[in-house]
Amino acid sequence: MMNKILIIAQREFVTRVRKRSFIIMAILGPIIFAGFFATSIYFASSAQDIEIKKIAVIDSTGAFIKRIPDSKTLKFEFLLNAKVEVMKKILKKTDYYGILYISPLVSYSSRAVQFYSYEQPSLQVTQYISNAIEKELRDQKLLAYNIKNIDNILKSVETRVAVETVKMNDSGVEKKSDTGLLMGVAYVSSFLIYMFIFMFGMQVMRGVMEEKSSRIVEVMISSVKPFQLMMGKVIGVAATALVQLMIWVILTFTLVTIIKASVMPDISPVTIASQPHNLMDSSKTIVQTQVQASEPNADIANILSMLDSINFFVVIGSFIFYFIGGYLLYASLFAAIGAAVDHDSDTQQFTLPITLPLILGIMVMINALQNPNSDIAFWFSLIPFTSPIVMMARIPYGVPYWQVGVSMTLLILTFIGTIWLAGKIYRTGILMYGKKISFGEMLKWLKYKN
């Protein structure tokens, strides 16, 4: 029995690996994903609208005249003796993007600033305005205390602080970590699990449908049993996915190593000039701390050094296990659907119940990234239909071994049962043509004896 399954699996593997699309995706996959995430971060963090917006400022207090600085995309023009109601009526006839009105109650009320526009302003615009006004209000209130050299004092006390997280285990061993980096690894791992299960599961379903519609399966069934054919296809596609995954892992580590080697030598050590604890000496001068390193390079160095704090052997090993377990669970169901239907349009009603747990897993994964030890993350990391996605979102943060063991055991037992049920559906549906299949009909097939 195993020999026939392995022969079919080998055929599926060799056929898919020889395709040009496999070779292209295997080599360009990491570059494409890196470009995708880099582009997403760029568009999310950078200002995409380079059009300069002119904003008319009506300051009823007179304290903010010329005190709101222009930015790359915002230009503020302060109108003296202008009335808000009049400007609102003629706004469309002007080239102003909007009207910023500062009420006399701005020092006492958080709702004393209004922005009028015919377009919905972006969050970047409103935050820039609020930050500028808040800073000016703070400076004006501090000046009211009549402190000498207040500007120099404020500049000297401005300090950048980054919270360094140190995780301790029961043995007292400490390990530095970075929450943002762990979140990134968890997100990428979970998303890849989802993508791989869905993509390669659909490949199994379409492959079964093609063989069924072309009647090739009738010839193959004369030599092998339907269950052997199904398992051969599932294992063959799984082997293809694992090879592609290993190529991606090797290329990714190579790219990271090259980046570390090219960035790390350019970063000079950080030197801090220590001074006495008194902020002022007898001549009232301010003691300033000097940092002799480039902060962007230092941030890159910290991120790359934090990569060493992640146990990638555990992450990659868990990823492979949960991919195989989740794939076998879902691919067998996709194979059963492919055997039960004749046309691609008939698969929609059957694929929806299968893909819903995957979509639910993605939704819970977002919660797990924020709180990996929450109750909802815990339970959904044990439920076999969502555990491949949710548990991979928790593992980079550190999960007790007993939870991982229970999750893996339940996943193994579930995919064994799923393969058995899918095999009974596959056995009957693979040779059935020209009939619309329903869930009730599939339940009848499960009751058929050998």
Structural domains of the chain in order of their starting residue, each with its CATH number: 53-148 (3.40.190.10), 189-268+278-447 (no CATH)
Instruction: Provide DSSP, 111-155.
Output: T-EEEE-SS---HHHHHHHHHHHHHHHHHHHHHTT--TTHHHHHH
Give Rg (Cα) of the chain.
Answer: 31
Specify the DSSP element, H or E, that contains 182.
helix 179-213
CA 84, CA 184: separation in Å to the nearest integer?
47
Mean pLDDT (the chain, rounded):
78
**What's the longest Cα–Cα distance across the chain?**
100
Residue 252 pLDDT: 74
Cβ neighbours of residue 325 closer than 8 Å, sequence gap 6 or more:
384, 388, 408, 411, 412, 415
- Residue 113 has φ and ψ, to the nearest 5°, of -120, 125
* C-beta separation of 388 from 323 below 8 A: yes
Of 337, 356, 328, the closest CA to residue 439 belongs to 337
Comparing 168 with 294, the larger pLDDT belongs to: 168
Buried b (16+ CB within 10 A) or exposed e, 12-33: bbeebeeeeebeeebeebbeeb
Residue 272 pLDDT: 41
CA 304, CA 256: separation in Å to the nearest integer?
8
Please name the residue that has the structure tokens 């009207």.
99
Residue 284 pLDDT: 41
Residue 301 pLDDT: 54
Reported as a single tens digit per residue, the pLDDT across 364-417 is: 998 888 888 889 999 999 999 999 999 999 988 888 889 999 999 999 999 888
Of 316, 200, 206, 295, the closest CA to residue 253 belongs to 316
pLDDT at 357 over 50: yes
